[in-house]
Amino acid sequence: MLTGAGISAESGVPTFREAQSGLWSKYDPMELATPDAFLRDPELVWRWYRWRRELVAEANPNPGHVALAELASLVPRLTLVTQNVDSLHQRAGSKDVIEFHGNIFEDRCFVEGCVVDCDAEASVPVCPGCGSKVRPGVVWFGEAIPEHALNQSFAAAQECDMFLSIGTSSLVYPAAGLAEVAKDAGASVAEINPNPTGLASMFDYAIADKAGSALPAIVEAL
Protein backbone atom coordinates (compact mmCIF):
# COMPACT_ATOMS: atom_id res chain seq x y z
CA MET A 1 0.00 0.00 0.00
CA LEU A 2 0.94 3.63 -0.53
CA THR A 3 0.01 6.51 1.74
CA GLY A 4 0.18 10.24 1.15
CA ALA A 5 -0.36 13.45 3.07
CA GLY A 6 -4.11 12.79 3.29
CA ILE A 7 -3.65 10.12 5.96
CA SER A 8 -1.95 12.70 8.20
CA ALA A 9 -4.52 15.44 7.49
CA GLU A 10 -6.69 14.24 10.40
CA SER A 11 -3.65 14.61 12.64
CA GLY A 12 -3.55 18.29 11.76
CA VAL A 13 -0.62 18.06 9.33
CA PRO A 14 -1.27 20.13 6.19
CA THR A 15 -1.35 18.31 2.87
CA PHE A 16 0.46 19.76 -0.12
CA ARG A 17 -2.04 20.54 -2.83
CA GLU A 18 -5.36 21.12 -1.19
CA ALA A 19 -6.59 24.56 -2.00
CA GLN A 20 -6.39 26.95 0.98
CA SER A 21 -5.05 24.48 3.54
CA GLY A 22 -2.31 22.86 1.41
CA LEU A 23 1.32 23.80 1.89
CA TRP A 24 1.84 24.29 -1.81
CA SER A 25 -1.11 26.66 -1.96
CA LYS A 26 0.77 29.03 0.36
CA TYR A 27 4.37 28.46 -0.62
CA ASP A 28 6.01 27.87 -3.96
CA PRO A 29 7.62 24.42 -3.71
CA MET A 30 10.26 25.50 -6.18
CA GLU A 31 11.35 28.13 -3.63
CA LEU A 32 11.67 25.69 -0.77
CA ALA A 33 11.90 22.03 -1.75
CA THR A 34 14.71 21.83 -4.30
CA PRO A 35 18.52 21.61 -3.98
CA ASP A 36 18.81 24.93 -5.85
CA ALA A 37 16.43 26.62 -3.42
CA PHE A 38 18.53 25.34 -0.54
CA LEU A 39 21.80 26.59 -2.07
CA ARG A 40 20.13 29.91 -2.90
CA ASP A 41 18.77 30.52 0.60
CA PRO A 42 19.58 27.76 3.10
CA GLU A 43 18.35 29.82 6.03
CA LEU A 44 14.89 30.24 4.46
CA VAL A 45 14.65 26.53 3.68
CA TRP A 46 15.70 25.65 7.23
CA ARG A 47 13.13 28.06 8.68
CA TRP A 48 10.40 26.33 6.65
CA TYR A 49 11.46 22.86 7.57
CA ARG A 50 11.84 23.75 11.28
CA TRP A 51 8.30 25.15 11.18
CA ARG A 52 7.07 21.87 9.60
CA ARG A 53 9.07 19.80 12.11
CA GLU A 54 7.41 21.59 15.03
CA LEU A 55 3.99 21.14 13.44
CA VAL A 56 4.56 17.43 12.92
CA ALA A 57 6.17 16.89 16.33
CA GLU A 58 2.98 18.25 17.93
CA ALA A 59 0.76 16.00 15.80
CA ASN A 60 -0.33 12.55 16.90
CA PRO A 61 -1.14 9.45 14.89
CA ASN A 62 -4.86 9.32 14.06
CA PRO A 63 -7.17 6.29 13.78
CA GLY A 64 -6.08 5.85 10.17
CA HIS A 65 -2.44 5.35 11.15
CA VAL A 66 -3.44 3.10 14.05
CA ALA A 67 -5.66 0.97 11.83
CA LEU A 68 -2.80 0.36 9.39
CA ALA A 69 -0.56 -0.72 12.26
CA GLU A 70 -3.28 -3.18 13.38
CA LEU A 71 -3.90 -4.37 9.81
CA ALA A 72 -0.33 -5.70 9.62
CA SER A 73 -1.18 -8.40 12.17
CA LEU A 74 -4.40 -9.39 10.36
CA VAL A 75 -2.97 -10.14 6.92
CA PRO A 76 -0.23 -12.53 5.81
CA ARG A 77 2.04 -9.75 4.56
CA LEU A 78 1.73 -5.96 4.48
CA THR A 79 4.19 -3.55 2.89
CA LEU A 80 3.61 0.07 3.88
CA VAL A 81 5.16 2.63 1.54
CA THR A 82 4.64 6.23 2.55
CA GLN A 83 5.35 9.48 0.77
CA ASN A 84 5.00 11.20 4.13
CA VAL A 85 8.06 12.34 6.05
CA ASP A 86 6.30 12.79 9.41
CA SER A 87 7.04 9.46 11.21
CA LEU A 88 3.37 9.17 12.19
CA HIS A 89 3.10 5.62 10.85
CA GLN A 90 6.05 4.53 13.00
CA ARG A 91 4.61 6.34 16.02
CA ALA A 92 1.33 4.45 15.46
CA GLY A 93 3.24 1.16 15.63
CA SER A 94 3.80 0.31 11.96
CA LYS A 95 7.05 -1.56 11.39
CA ASP A 96 9.44 -1.55 8.41
CA VAL A 97 7.83 1.56 6.94
CA ILE A 98 9.34 2.38 3.55
CA GLU A 99 9.87 6.17 3.52
CA PHE A 100 9.78 6.98 -0.19
CA HIS A 101 10.52 10.67 0.36
CA GLY A 102 12.77 10.45 3.41
CA ASN A 103 12.11 11.74 6.90
CA ILE A 104 11.77 15.35 8.04
CA PHE A 105 13.47 14.63 11.36
CA GLU A 106 16.69 13.41 9.74
CA ASP A 107 19.63 15.76 9.15
CA ARG A 108 21.87 14.90 6.22
CA CYS A 109 25.17 16.31 4.95
CA PHE A 110 24.41 18.13 1.69
CA VAL A 111 27.65 16.85 0.10
CA GLU A 112 28.15 13.38 1.60
CA GLY A 113 24.43 12.53 1.87
CA CYS A 114 24.94 10.71 5.17
CA VAL A 115 22.77 11.24 8.24
CA VAL A 116 24.63 13.45 10.72
CA ASP A 117 24.26 14.69 14.27
CA CYS A 118 24.62 18.44 14.23
CA ASP A 119 23.84 21.61 16.15
CA ALA A 120 20.07 21.80 15.90
CA GLU A 121 20.08 25.47 16.89
CA ALA A 122 22.39 26.76 14.15
CA SER A 123 20.52 28.71 11.47
CA VAL A 124 22.23 26.48 8.90
CA PRO A 125 23.84 23.46 10.62
CA VAL A 126 27.16 22.18 9.28
CA CYS A 127 28.40 18.63 8.86
CA PRO A 128 30.77 17.60 11.68
CA GLY A 129 32.63 15.41 9.21
CA CYS A 130 33.32 17.66 6.26
CA GLY A 131 32.00 21.09 7.22
CA SER A 132 29.44 21.23 4.40
CA LYS A 133 25.95 22.57 4.97
CA VAL A 134 23.46 20.13 6.50
CA ARG A 135 19.98 19.76 4.99
CA PRO A 136 16.74 18.10 6.09
CA GLY A 137 16.70 14.38 5.20
CA VAL A 138 13.77 14.62 2.79
CA VAL A 139 13.69 14.00 -0.99
CA TRP A 140 13.35 17.27 -2.91
CA PHE A 141 11.89 17.87 -6.33
CA GLY A 142 14.27 16.68 -9.00
CA GLU A 143 16.07 14.30 -6.62
CA ALA A 144 16.22 10.53 -6.84
CA ILE A 145 14.21 8.33 -4.50
CA PRO A 146 16.53 6.39 -2.13
CA GLU A 147 17.43 3.26 -4.09
CA HIS A 148 16.47 0.75 -1.38
CA ALA A 149 13.07 2.41 -0.97
CA LEU A 150 12.49 2.40 -4.71
CA ASN A 151 13.47 -1.25 -5.19
CA GLN A 152 11.61 -2.57 -2.14
CA SER A 153 8.44 -0.64 -3.07
CA PHE A 154 8.26 -1.73 -6.69
CA ALA A 155 9.07 -5.34 -5.79
CA ALA A 156 6.22 -5.34 -3.25
CA ALA A 157 3.84 -3.74 -5.78
CA GLN A 158 4.65 -6.49 -8.27
CA GLU A 159 4.01 -9.27 -5.72
CA CYS A 160 0.94 -8.05 -3.85
CA ASP A 161 -2.64 -9.34 -4.23
CA MET A 162 -4.24 -6.08 -3.05
CA PHE A 163 -2.91 -2.52 -3.36
CA LEU A 164 -4.37 0.34 -1.34
CA SER A 165 -3.63 3.93 -2.34
CA ILE A 166 -4.53 6.07 0.66
CA GLY A 167 -4.65 9.84 0.98
CA THR A 168 -2.59 10.74 -2.04
CA SER A 169 -3.38 12.88 -5.06
CA SER A 170 -1.43 10.35 -7.16
CA LEU A 171 0.31 13.21 -8.95
CA VAL A 172 3.94 12.61 -8.03
CA TYR A 173 5.91 9.86 -9.76
CA PRO A 174 7.50 7.41 -9.27
CA ALA A 175 5.32 6.88 -6.15
CA ALA A 176 2.11 7.21 -8.17
CA GLY A 177 3.36 4.48 -10.51
CA LEU A 178 3.20 1.82 -7.78
CA ALA A 179 -0.56 1.34 -8.16
CA GLU A 180 -0.19 0.87 -11.92
CA VAL A 181 2.57 -1.71 -11.42
CA ALA A 182 0.40 -3.60 -8.92
CA LYS A 183 -2.58 -3.51 -11.28
CA ASP A 184 -0.51 -4.70 -14.24
CA ALA A 185 0.82 -7.54 -12.09
CA GLY A 186 -2.75 -8.70 -11.41
CA ALA A 187 -3.49 -7.14 -8.00
CA SER A 188 -6.82 -5.60 -7.05
CA VAL A 189 -6.31 -1.89 -6.50
CA ALA A 190 -8.35 0.46 -4.33
CA GLU A 191 -8.18 4.17 -3.57
CA ILE A 192 -9.20 5.70 -0.23
CA ASN A 193 -9.66 9.42 -0.69
CA PRO A 194 -12.59 11.80 -0.11
CA ASN A 195 -11.81 13.25 -3.55
CA PRO A 196 -11.29 11.07 -6.63
CA THR A 197 -7.82 11.44 -8.12
CA GLY A 198 -6.58 11.41 -11.68
CA LEU A 199 -5.93 7.66 -11.39
CA ALA A 200 -9.46 6.92 -10.13
CA SER A 201 -10.51 5.21 -13.37
CA MET A 202 -7.73 2.67 -12.95
CA PHE A 203 -8.84 1.54 -9.49
CA ASP A 204 -11.12 -1.45 -9.00
CA TYR A 205 -12.59 0.15 -5.88
CA ALA A 206 -12.84 3.76 -4.72
CA ILE A 207 -13.69 4.49 -1.09
CA ALA A 208 -14.69 8.14 -1.03
CA ASP A 209 -14.04 8.59 2.65
CA LYS A 210 -11.43 9.88 5.05
CA ALA A 211 -8.66 7.48 5.97
CA GLY A 212 -9.44 8.01 9.66
CA SER A 213 -12.88 6.42 9.23
CA ALA A 214 -12.42 4.06 6.24
CA LEU A 215 -9.38 2.22 7.60
CA PRO A 216 -10.77 1.42 11.07
CA ALA A 217 -13.93 0.17 9.33
CA ILE A 218 -11.84 -2.15 7.12
CA VAL A 219 -9.95 -3.48 10.14
CA GLU A 220 -13.24 -3.92 12.03
CA ALA A 221 -14.67 -5.93 9.12
CA LEU A 222 -11.72 -8.34 8.93
Residues interacting with Zn ion, by CB under 5 A? 109, 112, 127, 129-130, 132
Cβ proximity to ligand OAD: between 2 and 156 the closer is 2
- 101 classed as catalytic: yes
Q: From 45, 139, 154, select the one nearest 101 (Cα to Cα).
A: 139
* Piece of 72-80, 103-111, 153-161, 191-199 that binds ligand OAD (CB under 6 A): 191-199
Phi-psi region of 113 (alpha: psi -120 to 50; beta: other; left: phi over 0): left
Cβ proximity to ligand OAD: between 1 and 5 the closer is 5
Question: Is beta strand 162-166 parallel, antiparallel or unpaired with respect to 134-138?
Answer: unpaired
31 close to 21: Cβ distance less than 8 angstroms: no
Q: How many CA atoms lie within 13 A of 121 on its CB side?
A: 0
In whole angstroms, the minimum distance from the beta carbon of 118 to Zn ion comes to: 10
In whole angstroms, the minimum distance from the beta carbon of 140 to ligand OAD comes to: 6
Residue-by-residue DSSP string for 2-22: EE-THHHHTTT---SSSTTTS
Residue at shortest CB range from ligand OAD? 6
Per-residue contact flags (x/-) with ligand OAD for residues 32 to 71, judged by CB under 6 A: -x--------------------------------------
Q: Which residues between 72 and 131 bind ligand OAD (CB under 6 A)?
A: 83, 101
Contacts for 213 with CB less than 8 Å, ≥ 6 apart: 63
In whole angstroms, the minimum distance from the beta carbon of 196 to ligand OAD comes to: 9
Question: How far does Cα 158 stand from its chain's mean position?
Answer: 20
* Number of helices (H), then strands (E), in the chain: 10, 8
Cβ proximity to ligand OAD: between 101 and 108 the closer is 101
Site residues for ligand OAD per CB under 6 A? 4-7, 9-10, 15-18, 22, 33, 83, 101, 139, 167-169, 171-172, 192-195, 197, 210-212
**Active site residues per annotation:** 101
